[in-house]
């Protein structure tokens, strides 16, 4: 059956078959190591994706805001020296709601930047909603539905009604609707701090997954918010999404340098969360490294023992004219085969473990902890790395075998 195989393959496979128990144990050890690496990698990827999805479920990757107002001391009055300015008390000004200068040009400039996916204007401010004798302070967010719904998928978060935003429409959260006893079709009076007021019709009730956000966030059409908040023709912020969420801070810095507008990325505004994600990645990489290292040492130790056990056979083969290179390749092939067999078995174990996790790891309400995608590429990389690890681990024992003196090896 093996007549068609090269000589090195025939000898390598025969050595592995003769040491069946050793081969079985090392393949089992490699399989466990590869299964741990694949399972943890898939779990971490799913966990990170779930965290990011929850953080970015109701916010843009980057938000542009007008520059903050800064108070500066004036020059000294006539007759007073410079010391009068140095001793002056400068009080920080109140930050008024204002529009981003030339926001249409800024939007066009950002759209042209590489890595930017969607740019959407917004007019956001505080207001008071009144229903009979009850009132609540809310945040009014005026958006262009065609653009904003590509940033925050509000239609899929609507639990009642429809995601319609015309000039007389408003969408509210489930908590606010519960507090004020509101349903779709009811009227709601919205009053801003500048005295402007408008009566709007509720077209949709949404659930953003956060009680606080559902209690204070409302959505209206952009021009409705502009009129209500006194931002005629202006916007208070610009929302941006990018292709790669992890490049948001870099693109935000680029936007800041190009436009002069304050740009806050989700990474900067969620610094603690991002640090936790990075710590998870670092710990997972460390664990994978040490598991891989233990696998390499296991392969190397088995092959070292094999060299000692097969020294007489190696000496006979060398005396028959087998070159050092062929002996070297015999043991390298053993390491590669052990790594390949172990990685295949480990990938199967990991796939079974991931399927069991998806089936049985559930929240109290029966929903899965988080979506888990089994990527074929992860298994392919694991197969390649485990095989390469086997080859690398086999190099030192193979070199030792190739250097054996035939006469000394035969005499034992």
- Asked if residue 217 and residue 138 are part of one domain, the reply reads yes
The whole-chain average pLDDT of the chain stands at 81
Specify the residue for token string 């092939």: 333
Residue 74 domain flag: no
**pLDDT average, residue stretch 139-160:** 91
Among candidate residues 207, 227, 260, the one where a domain is terminated: 260
Residues 213 and 174 sit within 8 Å (Cβ to Cβ)? no
Q: Rounded to whole angstroms, how far apart are CA atoms 33 and 24?
A: 14
Q: Rounded to whole angstroms, how far apart are CA atoms 239 and 266?
A: 11
**pLDDT average, residue stretch 269-275:** 77
What does 27-72 look like in DSSP terms, one character per residue?
HHHHHHHHHHHHHHHHHHHHHHHHHHHHHTTTS-SEEEEPPPP---
- Asked if residue 29 and residue 132 are part of one domain, the reply reads no
pTM > 0.75: no
Which residues, including other chains, have CB under 8 Å from residue 254's CB and lie 6 or more apart?
113
Selected residue with higher pLDDT from 14 and 63: 63
Cα dihedral across residues 300, 305, 308, 314: positive or negative: negative
pLDDT for residue 88: 54
The yes-or-no verdict on residue 286 having pLDDT over 60 is: yes
- Asked if residue 247 and residue 130 are part of one domain, the reply reads yes
pLDDT tens sequence across 171-183: 999 999 999 999 9
- Asked if residue 206 and residue 127 are part of one domain, the reply reads yes
Which residues, including other chains, have CB under 8 Å from residue 100's CB and lie 6 or more apart?
64, 65, 66, 106, 234, 235, 236, 237, 238, 261
Residue 349 domain flag: yes
Report the alpha-carbon angle 373-377-382, nearest 5: 110
- Asked if residue 379 and residue 313 are part of one domain, the reply reads yes
What does 66-127 look like in DSSP terms, one character per residue?
PPPP---PPPPPTT--THHHHTPPPPPPP----PPTTHHHHHHHHHTSTTEEEEEEEEEEEE
Buried b (16+ CB within 10 A) or exposed e, 310-346: bbeebbebbeeebeeebbbbbbbbbbbbbbbbbbbbb
Query: Exposure of 291 by Cβ count < 10 A (0-12 exposed, 13-18 middle, 19+ buried)?
Result: middle
pLDDT for residue 148: 92
The torsion angles phi and psi of 135, rounded to 5 degrees, stand at -145, 155
pLDDT for residue 327: 77
Which helix (H) or strand (E) element contains residue 200? strand 197-206
- Asked if residue 125 and residue 249 are part of one domain, the reply reads yes
**Crossing angle of helices 20-55 and 271-309, rounded to 10°:** 170
Residues 328 and 399 sit within 8 Å (Cβ to Cβ)? yes
Give the long-range contacts of residues 319-325, CB within 8 A, separation 24 or more: 319/406, 319/407, 319/410, 322/7, 324/402, 324/403, 325/402
Among candidate residues 260, 287, 310, the one where a domain is terminated: 260
Selected residue with higher pLDDT from 26 and 405: 26
Which range, 6-10, 143-147, 268-272, 343-347, is most confident? Answer: 143-147
pLDDT for residue 394: 77
- Asked if residue 255 and residue 322 are part of one domain, the reply reads no
Specify the residue for token string 């696998």: 295
Among candidate residues 260, 290, 310, the one where a domain is terminated: 260
- Asked if residue 339 and residue 216 are part of one domain, the reply reads no
Residue 266 domain flag: no
- The CA dihedral of 3, 7, 10, 12, to the nearest 10 degrees, is -170
Beta bridge pairs of residue 200: 188
Which range, 217-231, 265-279, 316-330, is most confident? Answer: 217-231
Confidence of residue 382 (pLDDT cuts 50, 70, 90): confident
Tokens describing residue 92: 């920080």
Residue 332 domain flag: yes
- Asked if residue 180 and residue 323 are part of one domain, the reply reads no
The yes-or-no verdict on residue 271 having pLDDT over 50 is: yes
Domain that holds residue 162: 96-260
pLDDT for residue 240: 93
Specify the residue for token string 């996790």: 357
As for how many domains the chain has, the answer is 2
Residue 86 domain flag: no
First CA to last CA across the chain, in angstroms?
32
pLDDT tens sequence across 75-96: 555 555 555 555 555 555 555 5
The yes-or-no verdict on residue 200 having pLDDT over 70 is: yes
% of the chain exceeding 90 in pLDDT: 24
Residue 108 domain flag: yes
Residue 89 domain flag: no
pLDDT for residue 1: 46
- Asked if residue 218 and residue 342 are part of one domain, the reply reads no
- Asked if residue 400 and residue 256 are part of one domain, the reply reads no
Residue 85 domain flag: no
Flag the least confident range among 87-96, 285-294, 360-369, 372-381. 87-96
- Asked if residue 376 and residue 310 are part of one domain, the reply reads yes
């Amino acid at each position: 059956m093996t007549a068609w195989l090269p000589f090195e393959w025939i000898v390598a496979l025969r050595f592995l078959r003769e040491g069946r128990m050793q081969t079985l144990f090392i393949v089992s050890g490699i399989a466990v190591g590869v299964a741990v690496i694949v399972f943890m990698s898939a779990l971490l990827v799913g966990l990170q994706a779930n965290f990011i999805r929850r953080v970015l479920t109701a916010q843009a990757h980057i938000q542009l805001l007008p520059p903050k107002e800064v108070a500066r001391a004036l020059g000294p009055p006539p007759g007073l020296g410079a010391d009068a300015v140095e001793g002056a008390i400068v009080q920080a000004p109140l930050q008024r709601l204002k529009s981003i200068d030339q926001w249409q040009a800024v939007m066009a400039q950002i759209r042209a930047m590489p890595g930017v996916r969607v740019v959407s204007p917004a007019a956001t401010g505080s207001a008071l909603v009144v229903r009979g004798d009850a009132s609540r302070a809310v945040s009014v967010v005026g958006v262009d539905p065609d653009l904003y719904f590509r940033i925050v998928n509000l239609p899929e978060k609507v639990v009642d009604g429809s995601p319609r935003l015309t000039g007389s429409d408003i969408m509210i959260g489930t908590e606010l609707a519960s507090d004020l006893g509101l349903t779709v079709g009811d009227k709601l009076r919205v009053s801003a701090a500048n005295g402007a007021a408008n009566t709007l019709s509720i077209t949709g009730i949404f659930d953003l997954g956060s009680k606080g956000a559902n209690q204070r966030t409302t959505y209206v059409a952009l021009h409705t918010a502009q009129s209500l908040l006194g931002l005629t023709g202006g916007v208070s912020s610009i929302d941006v999404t990018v292709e790669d969420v992890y490049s948001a801070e870099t693109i935000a810095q680029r936007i800041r340098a190009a436009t002069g507008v304050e740009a806050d990325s989700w990474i900067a505004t969620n610094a603690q969360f991002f640090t936790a994600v990075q710590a998870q990645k670092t710990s997972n990489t460390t664990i994978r490294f040490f598991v891989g290292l233990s696998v390499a040492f296991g392969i190397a130790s088995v092959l070292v023992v094999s060299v000692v056990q097969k020294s007489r056979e190696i000496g006979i083969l060398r005396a028959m004219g087998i070159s050092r290179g062929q002996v070297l390749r015999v043991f390298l092939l053993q390491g590669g085969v052990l790594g390949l067999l172990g990685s295949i078995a480990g990938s199967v174990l990991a796939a079974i473990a991931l399927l069991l996790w998806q089936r049985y790891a559930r929240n109290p309400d029966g929903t899965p902890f988080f979506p888990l995608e089994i990527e074929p590429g992860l298994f392919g990389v694991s197969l390649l790395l485990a095989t390469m690890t086997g080859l690398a681990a086999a190099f030192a024992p193979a070199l030792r075998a190739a250097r054996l003196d035939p006469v000394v090896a035969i005499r034992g």
